[in-house]
Amino acid sequence: EAGVTQFPSHSVIEKGQTVTLRCDPISGHDNLYWYRRVMGKEIKFLLHFVKESKQDESGMPNNRFLAERTGGTYSTLKVQPAELEDSGVYFCASSQYNSETQYFGPGTRLLVL
């Protein structure tokens, strides 16, 4: 069974540019989460989808971040315009409905210069 995949694995962009991260969850998982880890800090929750609906987006830093999950399958996280403090590792995770066990992807390492 394929795990959670994320694309790209790395991204280096300049301040002010736009970047779109993609996450493909495990097939059949209704729950999809985005997390971020900035240098030296803990992994922090960004938002949670149940199928195509945003269940909880309380962790989104500001309106420069936009997450979508059209059709309830893969999800994208767009940062526009990117700022220096957006640098970090963005993780996606998925889980089955009503399961506490989350399966994480390898992460996308974003560097904003």
Partner 1 sequence: SQKIEQNSEALNIQEGKTATLTCNYTNYSPAYLQWYRQDPGRGPVFLLLIRENEKEKRKERLKVTFDTTLKQSLFHITASQPADSATYLCARPNSGGYQKVTFGTGTKLQVIP
Distances (CA, A) of 4 to 41, 46, 104: 23, 17, 6
Burial of 106 (0-12, 13-18, 19+ CB in 10 A): middle
| The one among 25, 60, 107, 110 contacting partner 1 by CB under 8 A | 107
User: Among 11-19, 37-45, 60-68, 72-80, which window interacts with partner 1 (CB under 8 A)?
Assistant: 37-45
Q: Which residue has 């989350």 as its token pair? A: 102
C-beta closer to partner 1: residue 58 or 62: 58
Q: Is 34 in the site for partner 1 (CB under 8 A)?
A: no
3-state secondary structure of 16: coil
Binding site for partner 1 (CB under 8 A): 4, 31, 33, 35, 41-45, 48, 55-56, 58-59, 91, 93, 95, 100-107
